[in-house]
Amino acid sequence: MAFFDNLRATAMPSDTDPATPVPVRLEIFVQSRFSQLELSSVTAALEIANDVQPRFRFEWSFVSDTPGLISNRNILVRAEPAIDGELLKDCLIVLGGAGCVAEGWMRRVRAMQIQSRPVVLFSDAATEYAKQKKTGFYPATTHWRDIPILNEIGDFADMSTQLGEYTTGILTCAGRGFAIEAAFNLVAECLNPQERAEMASLLMLDRVRGFDREQPIHQEQGNTFLEGPLQKALQLMEETIEAPLQISELTQQIGVSPRQLERLFKIQLNSSPAKTYKMLRLKRARSLILETRMSLLDIAIACGFSGTSSMSKAFRQSFGVSPNQLRK
């Protein structure tokens, strides 16, 4: 992949002393409520990459548009200030998270592009980048759960559902649970096969998916924990959030009786089909409330509610707050 050319050129010493490790400097951009999973995945992969070979060292630092101690409510990270266009490193990694805001790092992304230095955008950062660019940035991807939200606020029909996509110096990535494999893929390009195998073993990875693999979309796809009819039911529920089906219609399309489906949901999920369906719609509504400026009425309709009052009632019952309180 062309994305790795600069990293490989930096990491593979040519006229330097082979006994002296060549530094590869990475900048990890964090904002409030950053993804702890993505941060730990990236740093763990870099640490182990340093352990399995002596030729170069990955060095990383944390930066932010709000420097100092950055919290995700569980851990703190001390970040240096990100100065526009200055002190650029060999690679920029922007972590996702609930507080990810593109205005804080877009100028730095552009500066990296001008100097042909690679950029990695994980999950929410990839979503925020898509919102900013709107057109002309494909192919691009993000975590599959954000794609329906993007399509509610604009035309993002060309967003990919692959685990990663590369264009114009930027790698957009699904992130989250894929973060450790993504980080492995980033540094493994600079390692030989034996070192890759050792690194995978130390990370307890028996296989590593490439960026060109499709995401396991929805709860039902690629999930060996759920039985077949349950997978199909969840898929139909995800696909019909805007116009919910009756449970009788659902069972008819799946090919099981209502009683069988109730039993499966009770055994596997300790819930009922109706409650699960409703919760999927509420979670979609909550995402739209937090991540878009759509009106509450439009959100209610997009999530299969008859109006704002029915959505508000369901919200209070499930989350203990109203949609208006959540948006404040």
Domains of the chain: 2-202 (3.40.50.880), 228-327 (1.10.10.60)
* pLDDT given for residue 45 in this prediction: 96
pLDDT for res 50: 94
Average pLDDT rounded to a whole number, residues 92-107: 93
**Which of 124, 146, 128 minimizes the C-alpha distance to 137?**
128
pLDDT of residue 222: 46
Give the Å distances, CA to CA, from 302 to 51, 132, 188, 243, 321: 50, 23, 42, 8, 20
- How does residue 93 score in pLDDT terms, banded at 50, 70 and 90? very high
List pLDDT tens digits, range 263-295.
888 888 888 999 999 999 999 998 889 878 889
- Please give the average per-residue pLDDT across 59-84, as a whole number: 92
Q: Which tens digit of pLDDT belongs to each residue from 166-177? A: 988 899 999 999
Instruction: Please tell me the least confidently modeled range out of 30-44, 68-82, 137-151, 183-197.
Output: 137-151
> Helix crossing, 308-319 with 273-291: angle to 10°?
100
The pLDDT of residue 153? 80
Residue 188 pLDDT class (50, 70, 90 cuts): confident
Low-confidence winner among 84-93, 168-177, 205-214, 239-248 (lowest mean pLDDT): 84-93
Q: Where are the beta strands (DSSP E) in the chain?
A: 22-29, 56-64, 68-71, 76-81, 91-94, 119-122, 164-167, 170-173
How large is the average pLDDT for residues 1-7?
A: 58
Which DSSP letter does residue 142 get? -
Please report, as a single letter, which amino acid is at residue 225.
Answer: F
Give residue 134's pLDDT: 67
Q: Are the beta carbons of 39 and 175 closer than 8 angstroms?
A: no
Q: Which amino acid is present at 11?
A: A
Taking the C-alpha atoms of residue 198 and residue 172, their distance in angstroms, rounded to an integer, is 27
- For 285-299, b/e burial (b = at least 16 CB within 10 A) is bbbbbebbebebeeb
Determine the pLDDT at residue 10. Answer: 52
For the cut 90, the answer to whether the pLDDT of residue 154 exceeds it is: no
Residue 55: per-residue pLDDT: 83
DSSP per position, 244-279: PPPHHHHHHHHTS-HHHHHHHHHHHHSS-HHHHHHH
For residue 8, the model assigns a pLDDT of: 58
Residue 50's Cβ-count burial label (10 Å; 0-12, 13-18, 19+) is: middle
List of residues 6+ apart from 283 with CB closer than 8 A: none
Let me know: does 115 contact 138? Beta carbons within 8 Å: no
* 18 — pLDDT class (breaks 50, 70, 90): low
Distance, in Å, from the CA atom of 309 to the CA atom of 143, rounded to the nearest integer, reads 30
